[in-house]
Structure 1
Amino acid sequence: MESKKNKITILYVDDEENNLVSFKATFRIKYKVFTAISGSAALKIVEDNPIDIIITDQRMPEMTGVEFLEEVIKINPEPMRILLTGYTDMAAVVDAVNKGKIFHYLNKPWSEEELDETIQRAYELYSERKTIMETYSKLEVTNEQLEFLLRQKLLS
């Protein structure tokens, strides 16, 4: 399990209060959990907190899960995104993949074990992606330094 300060940070968005309470009760010890009852409340959380993984219900009254995820990408494209729905709506799944750029799609009601495994896989990919981006940034700096040295050498 992650140490206290290195817990995976999860935002769970659902318009049903019971689902929010259940999710938090199930995962609060293992993960740092934020919950939101609407897409707009969740966007505020994303703006104010570093989030590793976002899990959202698809069918919500104010904005759908896909619409919410599209807005999240504009604010911060880094968190891994997981879509939950109690309905088999293939158009929603296609939109989630294409517009919300989801990592995974799960049916409601969710199984604690399956959801936990999905969170772990998403976080592994999230961590690998962050490491690759950090390495890429370092390589860009090194490349710029080498180009500068080469220009200096050519000019002298």
Structure 2
Amino acid sequence: MMTNTHENITLPTFEITLVEHNTTRQVDLANFVKSSGQGLILYFYPKDNTAGCSVQAVDFTVLKDEFTNKGYQIIGVSRDGIKSHHNFISKKALNIALASDTDEMLCQHFDVIKEKMMYGKTHLGVIRSTFVFDKNGQMTASYRNIKAKEHAKTLLNTL
């Protein structure tokens, strides 16, 4: 179940690395959104090519045209590198952009790295989260600690 929290996080102006199909480019999200004339769905996920992350990325890909029709573009963010993102995009036939956040600047900006429990041990990891911005770069919704399955469809229905 998604919970909408009322936060006021701004889009960063530092450059991030976007990976799409065979291209890689540097963008700053604030200018990227303002120049596109579209809103932005920015979702954070733990790791490329894992079960839940694959389900979520494929769901966003399948629904991409519907998000576009509502005026939104989609960017998935993880701490994986460029090569891993290219592999993930190719292996899962993804049609969305992925941001490589190996230096964790974007994760820190959105405060999505938290203590997690796995196999009885705690570690720091990315908490699955989604942030929605309008075409002016203003946050309209945020969802933290969400489940991968059905997240894209539920989000689409709330927009």
TM-score clears 0.5: no
Larger helix proportion, structure 1 or 2? 1
TM-score normalised according to structure 1 size: 0.31
Larger strand proportion, structure 1 or 2? 2
Higher-Rg member (1/2): 1
